């Protein structure tokens, strides 16, 4: 993208753009209140920039509109840098933009900036205006907004907020379903909750895809991330190879992989190419990668990784596999729930090579997932893996989360709690 000064637009052109953007933004549907709004409210009195990052179409602009309601309509400037008419805008043109905003709306001290990753050098512009006591609420579709791009210019002066697709609680609220007291659930209510949870696993948490089920929202989102957030941003010419890799990963979510095997299987040239491509998908919030837990850094580096999609509905829609593995989508959904509040998530392998899906060292917590445990062999496999891991890590208890209701005879055995995933998700809110 070639940078150009904002002055190449006439003053009238820019005024029209900003007025249109403000009008569209003021009419935007507010959706359901997101949990992140609580974090925003806590950050309102501080001088720090609030930086909201997440996957495209995950609700960042909607959250920004909810923030606008808190601020009051006459107290902020709004600019959407996803607007193609502002393509090429650079931080050097910030003064021109500010002057036009002042002429249109008067003097205000708060900026709401949407999709700011499209502005080269944006952090310099933000830092300079923060030094003049301006407040910023910023959204972006690249995870580096929360890391190195902020590290150099806004160190200690920003509050990062990650926004994910709907949680199961959000999903129920979106469908206008009341969240009942879990201690007083009737059999009928349990059956209904279980049905809603299965629907959540199938359809995921992208609001547009839930609202317009007849449209190919997941495919459009996937292509936008692939070609606009990854290929264009990182100047990737081998887009066919990139798509083959991401298609494979989308079809194998919640599975182990190794960079070398992916290189050989997809003929991607070099291991570094594979590593870079997967890293770009992480930065664009398309996938998450976790390591095996080990006190050996070398073992963590060479052991297979595990991949998770940012949304189970998108993974299910785009997977080229003809077999539906509900267990994988269950595991993926539990990962996303954990990732809301925790970044240090690992899988664990026992000395006898039994696998436990999740280990959180900070909480000394072991979690296993299994869609069904009716099969005695499956039951023994999951329980034995947890017991071994508990012994090796000196942890007193473990948890198995299931996709179906639990046989009461199995509800608690060998210090292992067996809980329906939908109950665990609601209780941990």
Position 130 pLDDT exceeds 90: yes
Lowest mean pLDDT among 32-46, 136-150, 161-175, 268-282: 136-150
| CA dist., res. 245 & res. 274, Å (int) | 8
pLDDT score, position 412: 60
In the chain, count H helices and then E strands: 18, 14
What are the two backbone dihedrals, phi and then psi, of residue 350, each rounded to the nearest 5 degrees?
-75, 170
Report the mean per-residue pLDDT for the chain: 90
327, 404 contact by CB (below 8 A): no
Kindly report which listed range (70-84, 148-162, 238-252, 372-386) carries the lowest average pLDDT score: 148-162
| 2: confidence class by pLDDT, cuts 50, 70, 90 | very low
How confident is the model at residue 322, as a pLDDT?
52
Left if phi > 0, otherwise alpha if psi is -120 to 50, otherwise beta: which for 121?
left
The whole model's pTM is what? 0.91
% of the chain at pLDDT higher than 90? 67
pLDDT at 153 (0 to 100): 65
Asked if the model's pLDDT at residue 313 lies above 90, the reply is yes
pLDDT digits (tens, 9 = 90+) for 148-196: 555 556 767 888 899 999 999 999 999 999 887 777 788 888 889 999 9
**In terms of pLDDT, which residue wins out, 218 or 300?**
218
Backbone angles phi, psi at 217, to 5 degrees: -60, -45
pLDDT > 60? residue 411: no
Mind listing the domains of the chain with CATH numbers?
A: 6-163 (3.40.50.300), 170-427 (no CATH)
Q: What is the pLDDT of residues 225-273, one digit of tens each?
A: 999 999 998 999 999 999 999 999 999 999 999 999 999 998 888 999 9
Tell whether the model's pLDDT for residue 111 goes beyond 80. yes
What string of DSSP letters covers 160-223?
EEEE-S--HHHHHHHTT-----GGG--HHHHHHHHHHHHHHHHH-S-HHHHH-TTS-HHHHHHH
Q: Flag the least confident range among 46-55, 109-118, 138-147.
A: 138-147
Residue 90 has pLDDT above 90, yes or no: no
């Amino acid at each position: 993208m070639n940078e150009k000064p904002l002055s190449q637009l006439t003053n009238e052109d820019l005024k029209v753009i900003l007025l249109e953007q403000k009008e569209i933004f003021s009419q935007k549907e507010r959706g359901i209140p997101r949990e992140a709004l609580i974090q925003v409210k806590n950050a309102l009195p501080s001088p720090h920039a609030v930086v909201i990052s997440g996957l495209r179409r995950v609700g960042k602009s909607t959250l920004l509109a909810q923030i606008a309601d808190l601020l009051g309509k006459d107290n902020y400037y709004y600019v959407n840098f996803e607007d193609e008419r502002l393509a090429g805008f650079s931080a050097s043109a910030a003064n021109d933009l500010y002057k036009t905003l002042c002429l249109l709306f008067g003097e205000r001290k708060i900026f709401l900036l949407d999709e700011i990753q499209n502005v080269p050098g944006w952090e310099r512009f933000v830092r300079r205006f923060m030094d003049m006591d301006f407040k910023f609420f910023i959204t972006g579709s690249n995870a580096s907004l929360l890391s190195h791009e902020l590290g150099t210019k806004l160190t200690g002066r920003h509050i990062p907020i990650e926004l994910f697709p709907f949680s199961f609680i959000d999903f129920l609220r979106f469908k206008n379903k009341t969240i009942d007291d879990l201690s007083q659930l009737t059999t009928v209510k349990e059956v209904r909750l279980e049905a809603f949870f299965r629907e959540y696993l199938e359809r995921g948490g992208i609001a547009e895809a839930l609202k317009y089920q007849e449209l190919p929202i997941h495919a459009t989102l996937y292509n936008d991330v692939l070609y606009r957030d990854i290929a264009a941003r990182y100047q990737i010419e081998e887009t066919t190879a990139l798509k083959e890799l991401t298609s494979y990963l989308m079809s194998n979510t919640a599975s182990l992989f190794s960079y070398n095997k992916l290189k050989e299987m997809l003929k991607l040239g070099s291991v570094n190419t594979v590593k870079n491509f997967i890293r770009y998908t992480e930065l664009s919030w398309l996938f998450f990668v976790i390591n095996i837990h080990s006190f050996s850094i070398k073992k963590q580096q060479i052991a297979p990784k595990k991949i998770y999609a940012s949304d189970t509905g998108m993974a299910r829609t785009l997977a080229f596999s003809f077999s539906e593995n509900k267990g994988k989508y269950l595991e993926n959904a539990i990962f996303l729930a954990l990732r809301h509040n925790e970044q240090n998530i690992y899988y664990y392998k026992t000395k006898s090579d039994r696998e436990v899906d999740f280990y959180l060292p900070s909480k000394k917590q072991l979690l296993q997932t299994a869609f069904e445990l009716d099969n005695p062999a499956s039951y023994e496999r999951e329980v034995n893996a947890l017991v071994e891991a508990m012994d090796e890590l000196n942890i007193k208890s473990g948890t198995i989360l299931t996709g179906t209701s639990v046989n009461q005879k199995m509800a608690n055995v060998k210090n292992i709690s067996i809980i329906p995933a939908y109950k665990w998700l609601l209780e941990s809110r």
